[in-house]
Amino acid sequence: MTVATIPAPAFAIERFKLGNGLRVVLAPDPGAPVVGVAVVYDVGMRSEPEGRTGFAHLFEHMMFQGSHNVGKAEHMRHVQSAGGTFNGSTHIDYTDYFNLLPSNGLELALFLEADRMRGPAITEENLANQVSVVKEEIRVNVLNRPYGGFPWIKLPPVMFDTFANSHDGYGSFVDLDAATVEDAQSFFNAYYPASNAVLSVAGDFDPAQARELVERHFGNVEARTAPVHPSFAEPDLSAERRVSYTDERATLPAVAVAWRVPDPVTELDDFLAYVVLGELLTDGDASRLVERLIHTDRTATAVAAHTTFMAEPFASRGPTVMLVQAFLPPGNAVDTVLGTIQEELARIAEGVDEAELDRVKARVAAQLLRGDDSVMGRSRRFATAEIFHGDAAMSTRFPVLLGEVTAEAVARAAAALTPNRRAVLEVIPGGAQ
């Protein structure tokens, strides 16, 4: 047996913690005259209270509505005037805010992020405005789009039973309209203390100067206790669950099938085999399901597989999935595609050729390494590694760990994806043929 050797990228990473509990990661690299500043809060859609679906995403929007010393829309104006870009995003288990600026914009980014960490402008006007913005985003991305919410919104309630794991993280209009200023303030108080966040700085800067600037801007942010994150655990499936629905805007049938996989944090070694398995199944024309479903059988027009609903295997925790989704030509049977998927999994369970496995591991590792080429991507990745794995430097280890996954581990992973453990979501097209 051979094991692919994939080198770890070498970045100088400094980690420290402020008195208020804020974890800080500094990763200097003078290769390009830019600096990436990311703040990741350890709260996502899974932490939303019942009756407040969509609240994590709504609050991300609220964080751009001004703060103690920054007026409405001034974050955008300051960053863009300095030649930078910015954004924020909400995920199942975290929310991040990130800025990319020329090197001389480091203090500006730190000032802006520290100011809203002290507290965004939570007012009736801002809340009503952002509820309207979020509802419009849902209309555009889900309600009025073919396959909107497929499968990341539609499949969890088939797969899971608990509210935390199964609810719509985009939110219902009823819950969004019912949100109050008090709700928003309570969410900030609970989940946005400095002790529940990681500040990550990557790029062209002097570490000693950056440390002094971090202390200056974040050191006096109020110290508050980090929330205790509850367990999101629930039992695995013991019998297939299957749901279908008609999408009036869809023109082709589609199917998504998912199985529970080991916890990406507490069972990382076992989880890694599923990351490799997903690539083996659908990454590139030589992959198992692309070759079989699209090129040979012609029972699908597109197919993809990945771990976790948002395809971010190293920025998630708790119950999650291995997912395969496919779009079918008109008149093709979903059961035929499901049967082919199970056949290919059974073949992999019998053994994987080392050359094929090495090729696949090299591809997935290369994708991770390419992500580190971007200063902003690097900053965000270091922050999420600190949040989920307790060490930003773990981000540089993931390609190495994937290279160490054995053929036997991939075979065991494939063998575990049995029909009785799967959840299936079928889209019936209702649009014009």
Query: Average pLDDT for consecutive 10-residue bins of the chain (433 residues)?
Result: 60 95 96 95 96 96 96 95 97 98 98 97 97 97 96 97 96 96 96 98 97 98 95 96 96 97 97 96 92 96 96 94 97 93 98 93 87 90 97 94 95 98 97 61
Q: With b meaning 16 or more CB within 10 Å and e meaning fewer, what string describes 270-281?
A: bbbbbbbbbbbb
pTM of the model: 0.95
Look up residue 181 and give its amino acid: V
- Cβ atoms < 10 Å from Cβ of 52: 22
Which pLDDT belongs to residue 365? 87
Asked if 194 contacts 117 with a C-beta cutoff of 8 angstroms, the reply is yes
Give me 391's structure tokens.
Answer: 């060490």
CA dist 220 to 59, 114, 117, 210, 215, Å? 23, 9, 11, 16, 8
100: helix, strand or coil: strand
**How far is it, in rounded angstroms, from Cα 260 to Cα 420?**
11
What is residue 432's predicted lDDT score, i.e. its pLDDT?
56
Q: How far is CA 381 from CA 199, 413, 425, in A?
A: 11, 26, 31
Which amino acid is present at 391? D
pLDDT of residue 2: 46
